[in-house]
Chain A
Amino acid sequence: MSCNHTADSAGQPVSPSGCSRRNFLVSVAGGLSIGFFLPDGGRMLEAATAPATEAQLNAWVRIGTDGKITLLFGGCEMGQGSMSGLSQILAEELMVDWNQLTIRPADADAKISYTTGGSSAVSRRYLPLRTAAATARELLVAAAMLTTGDTARGNYSAKSGVITRKDPVTGALQSWNYGSLALQAATPQAQALLPAVIPLTPPDQFRLIGKPLARPDIPPKTNGSALYGIDVFLPGMVFAVIKHCPTIGGTLALTPATPSGAIAVVPCFTPADRGAIAKNSFNAVAVVADNTWKAKKIAQGLKVQWALPASTASVDSASLVTLAKQLLETGQPIVAEPASAAPDPATLKTVLGSSAKSLEATFTVPHLAHATMEVLNCSVRPTHTAGVLTGLEIWAPTQSAMSVVATANVVAPSLTPAQITVHTTFLGGGLGRKIEQDYISQAVQIAVAVGRPVKLTWMREEDFGHDQYRPMAVIRVRAGLNATGGITAWWYRNVSPSILQQRGRAGLDSQAIEGSVRLPYTRAMSLTEWVPLPSGIPVGFWRSVGASINAFAVESMIDMLAIAAGRDPFVFRASLVSDPRYLDLLAAADAASSWRKTLPSNRAWGMAVAESFGTLVCEVIEISAPTAGAVVIHRVAAVVDCGTVINPDSVEAQIQGAIIHGLTAALWGEMKFVNGVASQGNFNRYRMMRLNETPTITVKVMTSANPPTGIGEPGVPPSAPALANAYSRLKKTRVTSLPLFPGTSMSGL
Chain B
Amino acid sequence: MYTLNVNGVTYQANVTDAETPLLWVLRDVLGLTGTKYGCGIEVCGACTVLIDGQVEHSCVFDVSSAVGKKIVTIEGLSATNSHPVQKAWIQCQVPQCGYCQSGMIMATEGARRAGHHGNEILPELKNVCVCGTYERIRRAVKTL
Chain A residues within 8 Å of B, Cβ to Cβ: 21-22, 29, 78-81, 214-215, 217-226, 228, 230-231, 233, 239, 291-294, 297, 371-375, 426-431, 457, 459-460, 649, 653-654, 656-661, 664, 682-684, 688-692, 694, 696-697, 746-749
Contacts and interface: CB of A to CB of B under 8 A. Distances in A.
Contacts of A292: 24, 27-28, 37
A457 B38 CA distance: 11
Contacts of B36: 228, 230, 373-374, 428
23 contacts: A22-B31, A81-B96, A225-B34, A225-B75, A230-B36, A231-B27, A373-B36, A373-B46, A373-B100, A373-B130, A374-B36, A427-B97, A430-B97, A431-B130, A460-B37, A653-B133, A654-B96, A656-B135, A657-B133, A683-B43, A691-B126, A691-B129, A749-B44
B138 interface: yes
Contacts of B46: 373
Contacts of A697: 135
A261 to B, nearest CB: 9
Interface of B: 15, 17, 20-21, 24-25, 27-29, 31-46, 57, 73-75, 77-81, 86, 89-90, 93-102, 105, 122-123, 125-138
B95 A660 contact: no
Contacts of A691: 122, 125-127, 129, 134, 137-138
B132 A659 contact: yes
Contact of A649 (B93, B129, B134): B93
Contact of A223 (B81, B97, B123, B138): B81
B39 A682 contact: yes
A15 to B, nearest CB: 10
Given A661-B131, A683-B44, 7 more contacts: A214-B90, A218-B89, A222-B105, A292-B37, A428-B36, A460-B41, A697-B135
A694 B101 contact: no
Given A215-B93, A653-B96, A293 B134 contact: no
A668 to B, nearest CB: 12
A470 B117 CA distance: 41
B24 A293 contact: yes
A657 B96 CA distance: 9
A749 B122 contact: no
Contact of A224 (B102, B130, B135, B137): B102
A105 B73 CA distance: 27
A23 to B, nearest CB: 12
A292 B15 CA distance: 12
A656 B94 CA distance: 11
B79 A225 contact: yes
B98 A226 contact: yes
A20 to B, nearest CB: 10
B43 A373 contact: no
A292 to B, nearest CB: 5
Nearest to A226: B98
B44 to A, nearest CB: 5
A22 B81 CA distance: 17
Contact of A459 (B21, B40, B122, B130): B40
Given A224-B73, A373-B128, A460 B95 contact: no
Nearest to A289: B28
A327 to B, nearest CB: 33
A291 B29 contact: yes
A233 B122 CA distance: 34
A293 B28 contact: yes
